[in-house]
A and B are shown apart, each in its own frame.
Chain A
Amino acid sequence: MTEIIQKVKNLSIGFKSKKGEEILILRNITTNIKKGETVGIVGESGSGKSTLALAMMGYVKHGLYTIGGECEFNSSNLLKMKNRDLEKIRGRKIAMIPQNAGQALTPNLKIGYQIDEALQLHSDLKEEEREQKISELLNKVRLPSPETIALRYPHELSGGQQQRVAVAMALAGTPDLLLLDEPTTGLDVTTQAHVLELLNFIAKDTGTSMVYVSHDLGAIAQVSDRIIVMYSGEIVLEGPSRDILKRPIHPYTHGLLKSIPKLSLAGLPESMPGSQPQPGIIQGGCSFFDRCNFSEEKCKNNSPQLEYLKELNTRVRCFNYEKLLKESQINQNVKKIKNNSKDKEILNLSEVSISYAKQKLLDQIFNRISDDNPTVKDININIKKGETIALVGESGSGKSTILKSIAGLLRTKDGFIRFEERRNLSSDLKERDPNDLRIIQLIFQNPDESLNPNHTVEEIIAQPLKLYFGLKGKELKKNIIDLLQKVRLGEFYMSRYPRQLSGGEKQRVAVARAFAAKPDIILCDEVTSALDVSVQAAVLNLLQQLKEDFGTTYIFVSHDLAVVRAISDRVAVLYQGRLCEVGPSNHVYKFPSHPYTEVLLGAVLEPDPDIKPKLVAEDIVEERPPEKGCSFQGRCSRIVGDICKKEIPPWQLTDSGNAIRCHIPIKELQKEQF
């Protein structure tokens, strides 16, 4: 039997509420980490996964305290150790890789110095040896030319490179256990796939045990041997990664996997009702009872125990797992979305360019923008009434910039934004009349930021109603209740503040506020990326339903290709503010496609251990679009020759109505699919 390096025994961590009650964040956790294995801990926000990972290195966040149990590492309980003894273990034996490497690295120290510091603390190497070790470590995390990287400051590196440096620093002490807290969450799709591949390599190469904490089942599926699923502070399912992802026998995991949109499925996945309970609310009974499709009367009052199933090597916390055992695999039912688009054009962007360049004094006087190489250039899109068009691309592709310009928040440099074939919308907010402002509404990524924390739900939804329709008194109230019902929230939500709502509920309020203006077009800026997986599908379903009811047009911005696949009728792929490909989503997701689309599709992480991401291009981050030629020339693996660097590629139409902007002939693009 392999050696166990970390034992967590009956661990409970919690805090005292204002009223003096003990509220548990972790409830009676027992698990082991074996030498050399990678364990994925997956759960929604608030499930206690990060608290568990931190406890594994003997750290309990300020305000929380250990109620019972222990974390044993090398047969000593970390939670009872003195700080001085812990310092010897942290970094040397157990290392941590944080979520946001950009914030974890000291901004005014060079990379080499920071790694050297880690080496001084956690190894016994002499000065000359350390220097060599630094380039060795940077090499190991596959950073190009380690010597130059070591002399740079953190802000001179891209997000992916910073994350690699964080990995190198964690490896400096040659730890036995690596804790990774959402290490790829803030990264772009392609970078994420590269970092995960690197982590896989390191796990094999060094034999280090890893604990990988994430909310993303796709990422977990790529790295872990074993998966622990957490729900409101408890382990609900634990077992070999393949079994859990292919045949989940806990209703929560089952529902979760069903509700994740996948690239291979067009249409909206089933959604899971409700949201995870807040800590302290569960008194007796199963914590998943309210949302479970398999629940019985006994689940309400009796809490199930974690049961070990020998034949599956799995532990599960459910009375009815046998029902799920019979289902051989997950049957994902998707609701095909109806294409409501009419031939009538509602919004036309023609030759739109947007520049962030600072104006020169002369330009300021003449009130013009001059920039030869603007951030966004030559955007021509025709949007039909009632369709959902998605803008897709990595960060920096200009997708949100385009949304802002449509909303009038950012001035365009050139080009027109035309509404319903007749009216040009001014690119300056102040020049738009109230009706122009009403027809376009925005829904933002993070509902925590888009709702004023000092307003009640009633006040939030009342704002557009008062502003555009001048409603007052009873009529106003009636309208608010109507809108709340449309987003499936009860009347009693009116008096709540945003902080009293869950993430999904907040986003519903934001949706209600957008629809309150009776808009023709709604701009959705990454509306589901701040939400938990189980809530995401419900919000997508709601948006689709509202669209069918009101005939609204959505312009949907997202970096998540699976979500885009689920909801959109048409997709526009952007790179560096230039369009690469536009077409019906069924066809964009099939070949032939633009080389960049290929890269994006290849890097998507699916919650399936059999589907590995395909790493086509390097994960370089380009600061500026190239001056001449194709926007993707810097990363394209299929460059034809000089023509790509000199001439802007022409639009080519495929038989299926897909427009691709590439120098490679369509037929050849089709040939080289993988």
Chain B
Amino acid sequence: MSLPDRIDPRPPRRIYRWDLDKTYLQTEFDSLRDLVRTAFQKAHQKVAVPGASALIRELSENGDSRLCIVSGSPKQMRAVLEEKLKLDGVRWDEFVLKDNVGNLLRGRFRALRGQVGYKLPAILESRVHAPVEAEEVLFGDDAEADAFIYSLFADLVAGRVDERVLSQVLEAGGVYPDDALRVREAWKKIPVGDPVRRIFIHLDKLTPPAHFTPYGPRVVPIFNYFQAALVLLADGHLTAPQVLKIAVEMVQTAGHNIITLSNSFQDLLRRGLPLQQAAVALSQALEGPNKLLAAMRPMPDILAAFSKRLAALGTPPPPPPVQAVDYVSLIHHALPRNHKGRTKPQ
């Protein structure tokens, strides 16, 4: 873990945990060529997912929050990644990178690609130091095992997963004994609470949203960060003007428009997220003192399109049901993509 980019003595009320590759950064590492290119990219050549930096900045604006990054990138990339974050105006409190050279030298080949044995102890150890009342929102992607690991973390802290299930998961996930020990030790130190409010999964690979249904409504697959901003507005983490700022940045820098944003809004409604009030708040924000935003075309048009998309659905769909997550049956979600066990057992 590196030194924090800022020192804020106040205990955080909210903790935002982010993955980097494919969550914050548009990274390609599906082929050897992609890996090499990514490894040699300079900070200014790296591209953030549209809206991601704006979202982080707006969440940070509210103060008393902490940004914790846990990335599967190797430690050797720390300098370039930190430079990229600074270029984007992102300030962090924790920044954990993977010791892949260490894993290689110690012959821990499973750990090179394994995610459970790396991320789960890292975020549990981070939580040990957090105030018991601090809420958490986590951001990951669909390329690896983020939905599984983040959900497991949330349910471990909440006491919804017992020792037996944890052992089964760690064993099936190929976690080395020392990492398993770190998981158990950190877990025991964390007071039982239910701090995780949302887990956003950026659909970098456009995985069908139903893939994440077994994790329940806490996990929200998103096509873009405007969707995350809308949900965070409904959840009380952002204000309507902050969401408008994120939308404006996405329109101005990433080619988003009235259709993509209103479709994104409707996509969440159709999945049962209660965003009707969020839409009202956005409209009111334009009517209020934010003349600058009101002048920014095409925001008023986009909000008008929201109303049409809302009306198009007729009766709002019911919210998705809350259910217990069966981690043992979902372990194939947590295995590396080319792992034999990744295929769902019949």
The reply to whether chain A is a binding partner of chain B is no
Task: Write the residues of chain A forming the contact surface with B, with a CB cutoff of 8 angstroms.
Answer: none
